[in-house]
Amino acid sequence: MKCSTLLLSLALALDSVSAREGCDKKLRESSHKEKEFNLTREYAAEVARGVVKYGDLVHVSTLKDGKTPVTFPEYYVSSDLCEGVNSTGNPILVLMNVSSTLRNYQDNGKLSITVEDRRPRHHAMSSPRANLFGSLKKLETTKALRDCYGKRHPDAIPWLPGEESLVHDGAFYEFEVEDLYYVGGYGFQAYIGDIDGELYHESEPLKLKWGKKHHKGHKEDREHDDKGDDEKKQPKDEKKQPKDEKKHSKDEKKHSKDEKKQPKDEKKQPKDEKKHSKDEKKQPKDEKKQPKDEKKHSKDEKKHSKDEKKHSKDEKKQPKDEKKHSKDEKKHSKDEKKHSKDEKKHSKDEKKHSKDEKKHSKDEEKHAKSENSQKGSQRHSGEQHPFANEDSSEHENEKFNFDESWESAKSIISKILNNY
């Protein structure tokens, strides 16, 4: 009886101790959670500034007709990355005059911008994001601003404002942040609330590491998280154990099959050795053939080198032949032009000569008619002119002189034609 009572009291004491340890563990976990997350407004401002600096896409919201909210995505670049503008963390956008975003803003002056941390392997609801409130200010287009924006968005270079733009309708605008509403994630692990513009502009941008949480932790907390992860991994390892056992059994079966195959391989070994000995006998013959093949190869190389030299000489000779051929062609063309000119001149001279011959034949016919008429008149009269003998002799002399001059003219013309 005493022993049973003693054992019962001992069990109750152990149970109370274990319950107390469980409470202490929960208290430690809750204290770790309080230390793990940074919920201050200052840290949230740094994160928001970093999200704007390292992002490249925003959602711009305006009011259509002053009533209906309208939201469109827009490219942007942070002023922290560009030269020539104040590094205040303001987004810089390119807006077209025809865009509804700019027209709605010019109509009622209402505009807000939403930014978010879009990192892979991160849940959207646990990632930081913010609504920025403020106003637009038009910027002067400079080369530094074009280069900064183009480096962030290379696909936007063709339509950026400037002389080289394909679309002469846009301009750079800086969104001056006056205040913002920040959501760092879930409420128990991040700051949620308003941040004034002055604190935002004074903060240093914080770049969040890819694939890690955006809150600040402590070394002890990280060790605690590692232990928790190990505890979570343990059931998975237990589930994997049967699979490993199955795999091990398969490996054993495979090993037994390999052992059964071993005698067959041993039987094959003598055949392989005989084959190897035959190959060794063949080797001296191959070695004897090798010098002959090397000599043949050297001859082929020499022949190839000679062919290459001959080919290089032919290539060098080829430009000279081409130049000579071009000169001959030019000379031939000149001769053809000269020949054509001579042919044209010869044809002109032939035409002129034919005209002269026609004229001469006409003159002869005229002269013959005049002689016939004169003879007829003399027969009618039947009288002899007192100076008839003198006139006839003179006429014969004139005819003789005309024939002689005509022959001389023909000889001169023939000489001229022969010269041409």
Domain membership flag for residue 77: yes
Give the range of the structural domain holding residue 125, as residue numbers without chain letter: 33-215
Residue 382 in tokens: 């039947």
Domain membership flag for residue 331: no
Domain membership flag for residue 49: yes
pLDDT given for residue 243 in this prediction = 72
Lowest mean pLDDT among 19-23, 268-272, 288-292, 315-319: 19-23
Domain membership flag for residue 100: yes
Domain membership flag for residue 175: yes
Domain membership flag for residue 143: yes
| CATH number of the CATH domain containing 80 | 2.30.110.10
- Mean pLDDT of all residues in the chain? 77
Domain membership flag for residue 110: yes
Q: What is the pLDDT of residues 131-185, one digit of tens each?
A: 999 999 999 999 999 999 999 999 999 989 988 888 888 999 999 999 999 998 8
The Cα 23–Cα 17 span in angstroms is: 10
If one compares 380 and 321, the residue with the highest pLDDT of the two is 321
Domain membership flag for residue 224: no
pTM higher than 0.85 for the full model?
Answer: no
SS3 state at 117 = coil
Residues 6 or more apart whose Cβ sits within 8 Å of residue 303 = none
If one compares 391 and 419, the residue with the highest pLDDT of the two is 419
Please give the single-letter amino acid code of residue 81. L
SS3 state at 352 = helix
pLDDT band for 52, please (50, 70, 90 cuts): very high
The Cα 188–Cα 415 span in angstroms is: 125
> Do the Cβ atoms of 202 and 170 come closer than 8 Å?
no
Lowest mean pLDDT among 11-15, 113-117, 300-304: 11-15
pLDDT given for residue 312 in this prediction = 80
Under DSSP, the state recorded for 119 is -
How many structural domains are present in the chain? 1
**CB neighbours of residue 206 within 10 Å:** 19
